Structure 1
Amino acid sequence: MDPQDAVFRALADPTRREVLDLLFEQDGRTVGEVCEGFADRMSRFGVMKHLAVLEEADLVVAVRDGRSKRLHLNPVPIEQVANRWISKYAARFTSALEALRQHVEDAPGEGTA
């Protein structure tokens, strides 16, 4: 599987995006702390499945800390997706907006004497 495919697959699920948001707020949470954030709606096993998908996409890195694992957000794959996909398509629109701005600024104003 292409690494970017894994990132898109991971980001497609709202629960996984919520896990990433938790790690953005406080990086280095333990697996137990992340599971606590979903205790009202999901089992620990369910959260672990989501974490496995995030780790497979390299969006989360687990580091052993004694008997527990600390989870760290890895923003690099998201940046790579943004550079590859979002920036490429946004450039065309920003160029068009810049041309429009230039046209409006260069056009003679209406109603001015």
Structure 2
Amino acid sequence: MNEDNLNDLFKALGHPIRRTILDLLKNGPKTTNDISDQFDEVSRFAIMKHLNQLVDANLVLIRREGRNRLNYINIVPLEYLSDRWVTKYQSIMAQSLFTLKSNIEGENNTMSKNNWKQSFEIEQEIAIKGKINLVFGALTENINDWWAYRLLGDRSKLSLEPKVGGKFVEIVDHEHGALWGTITFINAPYEIRLNGLLGMKGAVNSAFSFKLEERGEDTILKLSHHAVGLIDPNWEEAHRNGWEELLGKFLKTYVENGKGYKENQ
């Protein structure tokens, strides 16, 4: 975000009506008429001018459905402000390095945007027979051996750097790669937190973490995955099922029996 973008952003946030509009959109997308109806003493023309200024600042995204214009809040610039001026002063260890995209799917998407979710949360717990260091090593150094899902085909390689700012990446060659996540917190061998889209796209902020604890001969792996933004309603179920397979089948089998994901398919 350059200085001109920042000037537009602060200018857009400087008016109480525009801030109120953003508050209204936090609860879901609204048509321009729906927004205008909330302001008895403000003309529809004035509301349109405020909305256009929010659009220029990239704080509002527009979708057309027939003759209606749906307005969505875009959290990406607000997360940038938080990351630049708020989070860094709270704690270096707590800083979130958000991996965000601001583009959303084009007009060819036939699904009604009224069905889009605003957020989802996934919590799962898996018991894996093995020492905590072994499970932690599988999550980091050996992730390519058991992580079955690939964005770039079977020839790609996955790697994860176990350090703050370390990248969870998929690489085919120097010209083809994908970023799955970025480590924002690590306390080896007990916890890793990352931010990453994990196959989602558009104006979405997604964070996931692994917490490990030894319990007898087992290591208990606790997954937390939270996402917020313009979320396709199918993504929650897809990620819930995907995590169950990745961790409960592929990772568990790899740690307990030494078999990679190709031997489990």
Same fold (TM over 0.5): yes
1:4-39 deviation digits (Å, cap 9, x = unpaired): 2211111111110000000002x221111011111x
How far has the Cα of 1:90 moved from its partner? 4.3
Go from structure 1 to structure 2 and tell me whether the alpha carbon gap of 1:89 and 1:5 turns closer, same or farther (over 3 Å shift): farther
Identity %: 40
Aligned partners of 1:9 and 1:86: how far apart in 2? 19
State whether structure 2 residue 37 is matched by structure 1 residue 36: yes
Of 18, 21, 26, 1:19 maps to 21
Aligned to 1:97: none
Aligned partners of 2:56 and 2:89: how far apart in 1? 27
1:58-79 deviation digits (Å, cap 9, x = unpaired): 0001110011100001011011
Aligned to 1:45: 45
How far has the Cα of 1:88 moved from its partner? 3.5
Aligned to 1:88: 88
Aligned to 2:51, the other structure's residue is in SS state helix
Aligned to 2:41, the other structure's residue is in SS state coil
Give the ranges of 4+ consecutive aligned residues of structure 1 lying more than 3 Å apart after TM superposition.
88-92
| Aligned AA (1:18) | T
Of 1, 4, 8, 1:2 maps to 4
Q: Which runs of 5+ in 2 are unaligned?
A: 93-265
The 5-angstrom pairing of residues 56-75 of structure 1 reads 56-75=56-75
| Aligned AA (1:67) | R
Aligned to 1:2, the other structure's residue is in SS state helix
Aligned partners of 2:18 and 2:90: how far apart in 1? 25
| Aligned AA (2:22) | L
Aligned to 1:105: none
| Aligned AA (2:26) | F
Aligned to 2:26, the other structure's residue is in SS state helix
Q: Which has the higher strand share?
A: 2
Aligned partners of 1:14 and 1:89: how far apart in 2? 27
Tell me how many residue pairs correspond in the alignment. 91
Report the RMSD for the aligned CA atoms in angstroms.
1.8
Aligned partners of 2:29 and 2:79: how far apart in 1? 20
How far has the Cα of 1:86 moved from its partner? 2.2
Aligned to 2:42, the other structure's residue is in SS state coil
Larger relative contact order (Cα-Cα within 8 Å, sequence gap ≥ 6): 1
TM-score (norm 1): 0.73
| Aligned AA (2:35) | V
